[in-house]
Amino acid sequence: MSPKEQRLAELLAPVAGDMEGMRSTLARELSSESAAVSDMTDHIARFRGKQLRGALVLLAGEAAGRTTDEHADLAAIVELIHLATLVHDDVLDGAEVRRRVACVNQRWDNQVAVLLGDFLYARAFALSTTLSSRLASRVLARTTQVICAGEIDQAARRYDFEMGQARYEAIASAKTGALYAAACELGECYPAGRECGESELARFGQENGLAFQIIDDCLDLEGDAEVVGKSVGNDVEDGKVTLPVLFTYERADEATRAAIRDAYTQPGIESRVARLREVCDLAPGIAHSMARAKELALSARARLAPYPSSAARAALEAFSDFVLERRW
């Protein structure tokens, strides 16, 4: 275990038992009678990642004093939806390596990645329909729509160097913040029959999710694939204009702007992110973005004040710090 993993394990100690429950539900849900299906789900079980979204369900439940027998399943459902989005993102991005395991679309192909993602979404919804309350089905169907609409907006804004920070944040909030928020909302409110999307804990999730996405976008520009554990430079390759680039472009002279556009679009460039780094100084844009992420994480942390002091609340506070220090 690396020092980082050690710290994460400590952070999640208040919900360690339910994390185990979540993992066994996940293992069961990833199995299938079909040999062709289970061959693939066995494969993706290996890039399960840090399971931060599932952890948020459990920590939010504990912090609000409302954990039920079904919270471990709720956490597993949120992780299944996240896995489905990852599998479909691999189709979208043409990403070559994710978490050092060959992507589904490299090992099989795009066709199968689409089907596997669909299968995981369906599994998640099916599991949600077995729970005693319909809240999970409702929140997650709503959230999945928001995520997809955010990704569609993002696709429509490729190569748009003038969309502005507000539009960028709206897209990042939809595609990443929404599932963090849903995790916290479900953890806090389940099994209430009514959605409670406007709670402070849900906002905590939303802001941390946006911070996480901003940092992810910075890492894609400046990170080292070995350290980050997945290939970098994908955003530039795919025409995604992220916050550090928007900031840089906005302040650049016309010649630099043209060079930035060329780095994104000119045919035959081997590494677009390397070219981008050559033609402009991204450091101020990265610094601006990291400052914004920090602001969001601090705002998120402050939202925990109304909840009674507990090990889970302390873990959520540490969670915000953990997101900020993220270098993996």
* Chain residues that interact with a copy of itself, rule: CB under 8 A: 32, 34-37, 39-40, 88, 91-92, 108, 110-112, 114-119, 121-123, 125-126, 128-129, 134, 137-138, 141-142, 144-145, 148-149, 151-153, 155-156
Residue 229 vs 239, nearer CB to a copy of itself:
239
**Which amino acid appears at position 163 of this protein?**
M
Least separation in angstroms between residue 222's CB and a copy of itself is: 24
Closest approach of a copy of itself to the CB of residue 126, in Å: 4
Using CA atoms, how far residue 268 sits from 91, 95, 255, 272, in Å, is: 22, 18, 21, 9
Contact between residue 97 and residue 231 where contact means Cβ atoms under 8 Å apart? yes
The closest of 40, 36, 45, 113 to 79, measured between CA atoms, is 45
Residue type, 119: F
37 CB-contact burial (10 Å; exposed 0-12 / middle 13-18 / buried 19+): middle
Q: Which is nearer to a copy of itself, 13 or 141 (CB)?
A: 141
| Residues 243/168, Cβ–Cβ less than 8 Å | yes
Quick check: 20 and 54 in contact, CB under 8 A?
A: no
- The Cα 141–Cα 41 span in angstroms is 22
Q: Which is nearer to a copy of itself, 120 or 211 (CB)?
A: 120
- Give the residue ranges of DSSP H helices in the chain: 3-11, 16-29, 35-45, 52-63, 71-93, 104-107, 110-128, 135-156, 164-172, 178-189, 200-222, 225-228, 234-237, 243-251, 254-265, 272-279, 283-302, 311-325
Give least dist CB 136 to a copy of itself, A: 9
CB-based contact 150:173 (threshold 8 Å)? yes
Give min distance, CB of 6 to a copy of itself, in A.
36
* Shortest distance, position 118 Cβ to a copy of itself, whole Å: 5
Q: Compare residues 2 and 129 and give the one whose CB is closer to a copy of itself.
A: 129
> For the purposes of burial, counting CB atoms within 10 Å of the CB of 178, is it exposed (0-12), middle (13-18) or buried (19 or more)?
buried
The residues that bridge with 101 in the sheet, in sequence order, are 98
**Least Å from the CB of residue 33 to a copy of itself:** 8
1 vs 35, which CB is nearer to a copy of itself? 35
Q: Compute the least distance from the CB of residue 18 to a copy of itself, in Å.
A: 24
Q: State the minimum distance, in angstroms, from the CB of residue 44 to a copy of itself.
A: 13
Closer CB to a copy of itself, 59 or 103, in the complex: 103
Between 144 and 206, CB nearer to a copy of itself: 144
Between 32 and 68, whose beta carbon lies closer to a copy of itself? 32
Least distance from C-beta 288 to a copy of itself, angstroms?
Answer: 26
- Is 128 or 213 the residue whose CB approaches a copy of itself more closely? 128
Asked if the peptide bond before residue 3 counts as cis, ω within 30 degrees of 0, the response is no
